[in-house]
Amino acid sequence: MKYDLIKGNQSNYEIKLTVTPEEMAANKNKVLKQFQKDMDLKGFRKGEVPLAMVEKNIQPTYLQLGLFEEAVHQGTMQIVKENEAVKFIGNIYDLGQEDKDGTITFSYKLDVYPEVSESNQDRKKISIDAIETDASPEELEETLTNLQKQYADYQPTEEVGDDTVAKVSFSILNEKGDEIDTGSLYLGNEEYQEFAILKSNFYGKKNGEELQIDYIQEDLPPMLHIRKTDVEGTPTHIKANVSDIKKVTLPEWDEATISKIFGNEELKTLDELKAKVKEAIWSQKKESLLMKSVESYLSDITSSFDLYIPKTLIDEELKSRIASLKERFGGEEGLKKYYEQVGEEQKNKMHEEIKTAAKSSLEKFFILRNVIDQIGLTVEDKDRQTPMAIEDKLYTHFNK
């Protein structure tokens, strides 16, 4: 078979494959054997119908399609074998054909891995700024307090105060006094500090005490807003009931508590605990800030490169992201219901945004690989298998 390879400008090749009638006929028995596997005729075992009978019992159109498929398959395998330097990927697409006196010319496209080239030297002027990952006193205090809350002691008490949490059940009523929505929430010191109206209404209330609050939505915290949309009348007030008040006692950070919580003989004093917490905060912040810094760097240098992400890679990345989206919505049916809620226009907009994000992510991936090669960083297999290892090496290169 003869072929022409025409390099495209979209990380692909257009292929023109010419197949003579003789070359097409040479595949006839091979194609008939494919049909033979599934053919079941009376008087013969399935898969053992003679080829002459197979040919008589299949539509000529199907046989012709089978011959075309086999010719394209063989031709593509020949092209890949004879052009090993070209990194073909994916499946063929945009298939067309032209018949001239029995000689068929197939035209189709096949993608290749993107070629990244620098269009200018601007990227050499750009670096990754050093990131500050030390834990601030506020972050340290907040983390220690959250740890204490996880191991706090909760004892029943009668009155809401600074050191309590309480359950509040509420009903939202309309101007006629009819209940149009209900809800519940837990209130503690953090909520009182964030929303003054909660402290002014609930502070000092007793277990089982009921109270009424005017429904002025702009003055209320979100957790007390009406959630239903199909209500009758206008919400005018909230009837709330306080229950299950518990006094919260945080553990002291003494040696006994630290040993009990962490079960670590080497971690005993508050200073040792603080050091451990600082290390954990540093690790979390570094990963997050490192990712943002490298993402920003790659965005800044994108204009220095010419590359085109082929359809094959975008489709694969898009497929992966749609699969993740389905998982978030609880599967195919969950996503389908969500699409029905938001409408066709919003669905198409979402898909376009996902596709754009997929393309951008792939561009940054190939640019990152190119930059790593350009600056001579050594990347081992273990680095590719370790999250953020390559990004960490790039950051270190700019911040030695």
Q: Residues 120-176: pLDDT tens digits?
A: 999 999 999 888 888 889 999 999 988 888 889 999 999 999 899 999 999 999 999
Handedness of CA 330, 334, 335, 339 (dihedral sign): negative
Q: Give the CA angle between residues 7, 9, 13 to the nearest 5°.
A: 30
Q: Are strands 210-214 and 117-118 parallel, antiparallel or unpaired?
A: unpaired
Spatial separation of the C-alpha atoms in residues 304 and 121, rounded to whole Å: 7
Rounded CA gap, 48 and 89, in Å?
A: 37
Query: Is the overall model pTM greater than 0.75, yes or no?
Result: no
CATH superfamily of the 2-113 domain: Trigger factor ribosome-binding domain (3.30.70.1050)
Other residues' Cβ atoms within 10 Å of the Cβ of residue 328: 10
Q: Per-residue confidence at 88, pLDDT binned at 50, 70, 90? A: very high
Q: What is the pLDDT of residues 232-277, one digit of tens each?
A: 899 999 999 999 999 999 999 888 888 888 776 678 888 988 998 8
Domain map (residue ranges) of the chain: 2-113, 153-249, 255-398
Q: Where does the pLDDT of residue 231 fall: very low under 50, low under 70, confident under 90, or very high at 90 and above?
A: confident
Given this model, what pLDDT does residue 386 score? 87
Q: For position 264, what pLDDT does the model report?
A: 65
Please indicate whether the domains covering 2-113 and 153-249 agree at the CATH topology level: no
pLDDT confidence band for 364 (50 / 70 / 90): very high
**pLDDT confidence of residue 265:** 64
Q: Give CB contacts under 8 A, 24+ apart, made by 166-170.
A: 166/202, 166/205, 166/242, 166/243, 166/244, 166/245, 166/246, 167/242, 167/243, 167/244, 168/202, 168/240, 168/241, 168/242, 168/243, 169/240, 169/241, 169/243, 170/224, 170/238, 170/239, 170/240, 170/241
What average pLDDT does this structure show over 362-367?
93
Summarize the confidence of residues 98-110 as an average pLDDT: 94
No. of helices (H) and no. of strands (E), the chain = 14, 11
- What local confidence, expressed as pLDDT, does residue 319 receive? 93
Is the pLDDT assigned to residue 52 strictly greater than 80?
Answer: yes
pLDDT given for residue 356 in this prediction: 93
Spatial contact of 129 and 307, defined as CB atoms under 8 Å apart? no
∠ CA 243-248-252 to the nearest 5 degrees?
175
Three-class DSSP category at 392: helix
Q: Tell me the C-alpha distance between 329 and 243, whole Å.
A: 35
Taking only the tens place, the pLDDT of each residue in 17-35 is: 999 999 999 999 999 999 9
Digit-coded pLDDT (tens) for 177-216: 999 999 999 999 889 999 999 999 999 999 999 999 999 9
Q: Which CATH class is domain 153-249?
A: alpha beta
How big is the CA angle at 277 (ends 273 and 281), to the nearest 5 degrees? 170
